[in-house]
Amino acid sequence: MRNQTARSREERLTMQVVNHIRAMIEDGRLKPGDKIPPEREFARMLKISRASLRTGIGYLAAMGVMKVRHGVGTFVADGPPEIGKASLGLMGALHGFQPWQMFEARLLLESSLAALAAERGKEEHLTVLAEEVAEMYATVDDPQEYLIHDVRFHRTIAQASGNPILAALMETVTSTLYEERRKTVEYARNLKESAETHREIYRAIRSKNGAEARKLMAEHLRVAQSEQERETQAGALERELTPRLKARRTKSQS
């Protein structure tokens, strides 16, 4: 119950940040291409903690509203998409699902999206996919930032499919996926290998090889499911052991 309450509070704070920044974009205080202020300054301006700000910015970046450039900063995306209240509510719409259900849905949806992207993707989509792969390689030592580019890569494939209905379904998945994965990604083992897999998917799409893109995406998702299960177990083990280690340390110091 305590974990559920903490989770609800965290999501409420995230949405508070998201809504605040959304309002700043809508009323023109933040314009496309603007670089947001440094984290400490921005958090003070919004009167929130830096942790809450970081989570909200991560969500907005994963959803394509902000653009994170490694080593440069975070900017408002050019022509940011409209963030409707329905989209913002998606984080809470799928509570209670099992991880295997998410991956089953992703396998059915994303393998087909990859094949369609290979058939219909435009040059602008290929450019974004290439940029996101490059950012993944640049952030293999920063799991939280890596995750943003990972999610954006999958969103771009959905957009490249040329089917707005499927792309809207993918928005539901990526919104929830980001919220769930950011809690475990710190325990990821080999993000470089993951980046290489995304590069292979990009190459298949660029080559207009739909069958290969479908196959690579399906393989990637099966591996991702196993890795996320391992990450979840590693996180649970750490949470279990940390109080014991602290108690042992305190005892040895007394």
Q: Are residues 53 and 172 in the same domain?
A: no
Residue-wise pLDDT for 157-173, tens only, equals 999 999 999 998 888 88
Structure tokens at 145: 């930032």
Q: What is the number of other CB atoms lying within 10 angstroms of the CB of residue 30?
A: 21
State the CATH number of the domain containing residue 40.
1.10.10.10
Q: Are residues 128 and 225 in the same domain?
A: yes
Q: Of 44, 76, 108, which residue constitutes the final position of a domain? A: 76
Q: Are residues 66 and 132 in the same domain?
A: no
Structure tokens at 117: 């992207």
Q: Are residues 101 and 61 in the same domain?
A: no
CA 209 to mean position of chain CA atoms: 26
Flag whether pLDDT at 247 surpasses 60: no
More confident residue, 1 or 129: 129
Flag whether pLDDT at 77 surpasses 80: yes
Residue-wise pLDDT for 216-233, tens only, equals 999 999 999 999 899 889
Q: Are residues 122 and 184 in the same domain?
A: yes
State the CATH number of the domain containing residue 118.
1.20.120.530
Highest mean pLDDT among 93-107, 125-139, 180-194: 125-139
Q: Are residues 108 and 10 in the same domain?
A: no
Flag whether pLDDT at 44 surpasses 80: yes
More confident residue, 71 or 40: 40
Separation between Cα atoms, residue 161 and residue 113, nearest integer Å: 6
pTM to 2 decimals?
A: 0.76
Q: How many structural domains compose the chain?
A: 2
Q: Are residues 117 and 53 in the same domain?
A: no
Cβ-contact 167, 157 below 8 angstroms: no
56: pLDDT confidence band, cut at 50, 70 and 90? Answer: confident
- Domain hosting 230: range is 97-241
* Strand segments (E) across 70-218: 73-76
Question: For residue 88, what pLDDT is reported?
Answer: 44
Q: Are residues 114 and 186 in the same domain?
A: yes
Q: Are residues 68 and 110 in the same domain?
A: no
Flag whether pLDDT at 39 surpasses 80: yes
Q: Are residues 151 and 45 in the same domain?
A: no
Cβ-contact 73, 63 below 8 angstroms: no
Q: Which of 99-113, 130-144, 204-218, 227-241 is least confident?
A: 227-241
What is the Cα Rg of the chain in Å?
A: 19
Separation between Cα atoms, residue 130 and residue 142, nearest integer Å: 19
